[in-house]
A and B are shown apart, each in its own frame.
Chain A
Amino acid sequence: MELHANAFGRNARKALLDKSLQEALGRTTGRFLAHRDAAVAAFPEFEATRERASRIKGDVLDHLDTYLARFVEAAERRGAIVHVARDAPEAREIAARIARDEGVTLAVKSKSMASEEISFNEALQEAGVTVVESDLGEFIIQLAGEAPSHIIAPAVHKTRQEVSRLFERHLGEPRTDSIPELVGMARRHLRSKFLSAGMGVSGGNFLVADTGSVVLVTNEGNGRMGTILPRVHLAVVGIEKVIPRMADLPTFLRLLPRSASGQAISSYVSILTGTRSAGDPEGPERMHILLLDCGRSAILEGKYREILKCVRCAACLNVCPVYQSVGGHAYGWVYSGPIGAVLTPLLVGLPEAAALPDASTLCGACADVCPVKIPLPDFLLELRSDAREQGLKTPGEIAAMKGYAGVMKRAGLLEALERIAGVLGQFFTKGKGIAGLPYPLSGWTERRDFPAAAVQPFRKQWKIKRGVRR
């Protein structure tokens, strides 16, 4: 997928002016959050399960070499063919070769963020293979020629009318405002693809080391169809998705759907091990597993390794005030929200995505909801400091931050400046807010009024309240 992470500022402004996107974001993130909160409240073991999951993932990171080797050995014992790709170009080459060698002309794909990282569809299309996205949201945005805007709800920015127009143009279906009818159209169209495709492509939510299994979690059942009906199954998965034992799987199955959509469990969990056995009436004759490094082993070596615990639930997106305002496309690459603001710079290089760690208020809500306890706000802050060290901050920003730090360390100076700001603020105060500030402060007042400063600074009020007099 093309990278535009450093255009965050421009993209965000565009998103804020997009009325239908704003409506969609309000509707979606709020609903996901409410469902998540209700599911967590109804599950008293949530905190203990979260702690357990975080520790299991920690153990995996400490011993990724051992567990991944176990996974590869077990998967190969069961007839799977395991490939390893160091970077995206290599992954594309391997994927295209697999499709060519297997004689595949049509592939059905279920949702996979990892495959977006390597521009999987383009690679196969260049090799002459038609790739049809089978997750309804992914199918919609594939028809629209767009990128996903939310990890688990990729078409959140599309209205039913827009979907119907797409189905009319690309599938020849009549126009309708009925969502069940639209779902039915996609079902019919994609069913014929499932039945005729030579290869099913999936991601992988988990890789089970002790059995060599790939685990898929879906609600629609597309992941299931694509891994039972076609002759070949190709799973494209990041190396960090491994968990040690099958016995660890329920822990994650209890956390992922609750954190993602507020379900106690997703409609479908498929645990897929190797190829079909002799006598099995269905299942793929060939199974390929394409393991992606693509920057992960480098992350494992450094101070941000815990980011590799991520299970891609998207809870941090829904709860983030920045994501709620600008949506996923503004982040300019595969991953959005707080996880994207940390993971993207680590995977593509900080100079290519230095704008993203700034796309946060550091409110900490993402860390509160993360089911595997990734310290996202700490990482955002640390990345900002890395950006400064790497010379990616402007002299103006560095000077401003130095000035800010200098003031915040001196109470007397802060108080004096507060008084000056209070006096100056009066010139711009219209009614209850400050408006029309000059550059570089104009960004704060262009589209809304900045709250006017109180007549008395907070710390003065505090002192008076506590009876301290000077």
Chain B
Amino acid sequence: MSEREQLFRRLSAACGGRVPTAGEPLPGSDAGAPEGGLVARFADTFAAAGGVLLRGPVEEALSDLGELLRGEGVSALFCPEDDEAAREIAEALVPFGPFHLTTGAEVRGGSAAVTAGFRTAEAAISETGTIVETSAGGKTLLPGLIADVHVSIVPAGSVVARMEEALASFTPDPPRNISFLTGPSKTGDIEQTLTVGAHGPKKAIAFLLPP
């Protein structure tokens, strides 16, 4: 008998052949939608997680974004080739600073420049201030992974209330990677002092696209 069969034999003996039933409903399942508008709530929770939300007229938001990126010492911008919204914004930013465009592959290969990665979020969760990115449809995850600054393009219509809604669209057959990104990469491992930029982006920016 294989090790696996033996394990399941042991488990079945311990569980006594019970079969799961629907049972009574669980508490805390249907806590209503959060108060206030979804976008307003997302703005609050995203900021609480240490993110910076840019909204309003696109021209103005672009100028703010340029300033933020210059402040972080960013010089190279990259985005997925097939992500039009992200590319438009990255390209429009070039005049706002000494920025140049590069590719994810180049950054992965080892880039000396400080980088900003742009990518359109699949969803944003107002409950937690979370950006949802997945590998569905062959999308790249590099902008939110290896860039020093991550800029998420968030279409206003993609904001959902709770985690359940964000996950529902990816079950029963989820892509290889579903990532919830909430604020910048953090660590408290040295003297419990919160420090950003452990491995992932040091700054998380959400660029809200009006409907």
Contacts and interface: CB of A to CB of B under 8 A. Distances in A.
Contact of B28 (A45, A86, A222): A45
B141 interface: yes
Interface of A: 24, 27-28, 31-32, 45, 48-49, 51-52, 55-56, 59, 61-69, 72, 82, 84-86, 90, 134-137, 140, 153-156, 158-160, 163, 179-180, 182-184, 186-187, 190-191, 194-195, 210-211, 213, 219-222, 224-225, 227-229, 239, 244, 246-247, 249-251, 253-254, 261, 264-277, 279-283, 291, 293, 297-298, 300-301, 305
A267 B181 contact: yes
B151 to A, nearest CB: 16
Contact of B187 (A67, A136, A156, A293): A136
Contacts of A135: 189
A198 to B, nearest CB: 16
B27 A68 contact: no
Contacts of A220: 185-187, 189, 198-200
29 contacts: A45-B28, A48-B28, A63-B18, A64-B14, A65-B8, A65-B11, A66-B20, A68-B11, A140-B189, A179-B190, A183-B187, A187-B198, A194-B199, A220-B187, A225-B145, A239-B7, A246-B174, A250-B164, A254-B163, A264-B128, A265-B130, A267-B49, A267-B181, A267-B184, A267-B186, A271-B177, A279-B137, A282-B135, A297-B10
B57 interface: no
Interface residues of B, number: 73
Contacts, number: 250
A65 B200 contact: no
Interface of B: 3-4, 6-8, 10-15, 18-20, 23, 26-29, 31, 45, 48-49, 104, 108, 110, 128-130, 135, 137-142, 145-146, 162-164, 167-168, 170-193, 195, 197-201
A137 B166 CA distance: 31
A283 B19 contact: no
A247 B167 contact: yes
B interface secondary structure, majority: loop
A281 B176 contact: no
B190 A86 contact: no
A86 B7 contact: yes
Contacts of B108: 195, 229
Nearest to B125: A265
Nearest to A264: B128
B20 A213 contact: no
Nearest to B199: A221
Nearest to B10: A297
Contacts of B137: 279
A195 B7 CA distance: 37
Contact of A279 (B18, B128, B138): B138
Contacts of B181: 267-268
